[in-house]
Amino acid sequence: MTSSRESAVMLFGSNLVAMVTPMEADGSVSSEGVASLVEHLLATGCDGIVVGGTTGEISTLTADEVVDLVAAVAQQVRGRAKVIAGVGTYDTAGSIQRAGQVESAGADALLVVCPYYSRPTQAGVVAHCLAIADATDLPVMLYDVPARTGISLEMNTLTELAQHPRIRAVKDAKGDLFEAATVMADTSLAYYCGSDELNLPYLAIGASGVVSVVGNIVADRTADLIRAVASGDLESARSIDGSVRDLTETLMRTSQGAIMAKAALAELGIIPHATVRMPLLESQEQDLAKLGKALATHR
């Protein structure tokens, strides 16, 4: 199973960033902002870019915008990092169509979330994920985030889905460390922490990497954390984790990750605006003041 997880890192990377979608003041996607952000992520050690995920405001992007984003990022990256495209919706047929589109646009892998709102049975979840995995030749990372979808990937479901040759990994934002450790012991699925607050404990129990929101700002720190845990240097890992705790708390627990990450990137001059699409609203003054203090130690 270790070799299977190592090969999964070759497919997805280990230091993944859930990339925000830079926008102009009018809410249109900013090509300039995308290019600047991608170069920033690569320069700070990101080896996998998730495009069109939760932090990328996938719920307010059109299908064409997602495909165009994937194409732009893939063209700019040119093999320097893996491009993982979010294609999961509550509509299996629509997800299959989008999977084919992003494959043609240059994606290296797919991110597939549980069907939200419709909340099918676990058998329905299995059928949905298998149908998407069968639709392309790309490796699949499952996305388990019940706080957003209203439904989780249960342990038996994960074990069943792990039998598919292209379903290789799980982005786990559920936070059940015992379940994650059990699934890793019983299957060849590679785990990626999807909650920045828990990056260290997930890596410590064997996760292959992270899919980080905070990495939009400090991917170099998450890279250091991954290396420290991999080398068995937990004292350094705890120190690294502590060095970004204030920033993590500010980005992830003040309002919402996409909102705060965009505010931080705009403050640092990496993207032109902190614009988000409704129903999200830009950061309030008190949140920006808190963010400024957290960023002060990372400039």
210: Cβ contacts below 8 Å, ≥ 6 apart: 14, 15, 16, 192, 193, 194, 196, 199, 202, 203, 222, 225, 226
Domain boundaries 2-233, CATH class: alpha beta
Q: Which of 82, 117, 171, 290 is catalytic?
A: 171
What's the pLDDT score for residue 4? Answer: 65
**195 three-state secondary structure:** coil
- Each residue's pLDDT tens digit, 122-176: 999 999 999 999 999 999 999 999 999 999 999 999 999 999 999 999 999 999 9
Residue with tokens 């059940």: 176
DSSP-derived secondary structure for 137-181: SS-EEEEE-HHHHS----HHHHHHHTTSTTEEEEEE-S--HHHHH
Does 207 or 299 have the greater pLDDT score?
207
- Each residue's pLDDT tens digit, 179-190: 999 999 999 999
- Each residue's pLDDT tens digit, 244-286: 999 999 999 999 999 999 999 999 999 999 999 999 999 999 9
**143 carries an active-site annotation:** yes
What's the pLDDT score for residue 5? Answer: 65
Q: Are 34 and 51 in contact (CB under 8 A)?
A: no
- Determine the Cα angle at 49 with ends 150 and 169, to 5°: 55
Residue with tokens 């990450």: 261
- Each residue's pLDDT tens digit, 74-97: 999 999 999 999 998 999 999 999
Most distant CA pair in the chain, distance: 49
Percent of the chain with pLDDT over 90: 95
Q: Are 168 and 189 in contact (CB under 8 A)?
A: yes
Closest CA to 221 of 86, 44, 73: 44
Half-sphere exposure of 96 (CA within 13 A, CB side): 12
d(CA 229, CA 232): 5
- Each residue's pLDDT tens digit, 8-28: 889 999 999 999 999 999 999
Q: Are 51 and 57 in contact (CB under 8 A)?
A: no
Q: Can the peptide bond before residue 279 be classed as cis, meaning omega within 30 degrees of 0?
A: yes
d(CA 233, CA 171): 24
- Indicate the residue type of 21: T
Q: Are 15 and 201 in contact (CB under 8 A)?
A: no
**110 three-state secondary structure:** strand
**293 carries an active-site annotation:** no
Distances 226 to 172, 209, 290 between C-alpha atoms, Å: 16, 7, 27
Q: Which of 90, 117, 143, 202 is catalytic?
A: 143
